[in-house]
């Protein structure tokens, strides 16, 4: 197809802060998971599709299929809407005290 550019599951973005491999990042409305370490303001390959174990805010349990949002200030996942960005759904249940949870990313960039 003449207009096809790329699959888009991995995008090259500019790191908004220092990142370690596996850490989430939000650039505009694009959420991804860093595929490697990156210094602030350098290029990083961000994976935008799949299931990832990500840092989770404690204090709330997750049920399978619960909407998951990215809290960019705290740099973790939450079920709290507020001004946070919808990034996907819980792929597995998580207890309120858990510090990580499995998230199936929503690469459609729904706000």
**pLDDT of the chain, 111 residues: tens digit per residue:** 788 887 889 999 999 999 999 999 999 999 999 999 999 999 999 999 999 999 999 999 999 999 999 999 999 999 999 999 999 999 999 999 999 999 999 876 655
Residue linked to tokens 């597995």? 92
The 10 Å CB-count burial string (b at 16+, else e) for 44-62 is bebbbbeebebebbeeeeb
Report how far Cα 67 is from the mean position of its chain's Cα atoms: 12
**Which pLDDT does position 106 carry in this prediction?**
86
Listed by start position, the domains of the chain span 10-105
């Amino acid at each position: 197809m003449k207009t096809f550019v790329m699959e888009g599951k991995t995008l090259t973005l500019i790191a908004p802060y220092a990142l370690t491999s596996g850490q989430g990042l939000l650039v505009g409305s694009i959420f991804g998971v860093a595929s490697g370490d990156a210094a602030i303001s350098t290029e990083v390959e961000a994976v935008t599709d799949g299931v990832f174990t990500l840092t989770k805010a404690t204090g709330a349990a997750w049920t399978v299929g619960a909407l998951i949002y990215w809290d960019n200030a705290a740099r973790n996942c939450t079920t709290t809407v507020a001004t946070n960005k919808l990034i996907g759904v819980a792929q597995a249940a998580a207890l309120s005290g858990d510090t990580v949870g499995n998230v199936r990313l929503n690469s459609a960039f729904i706000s």
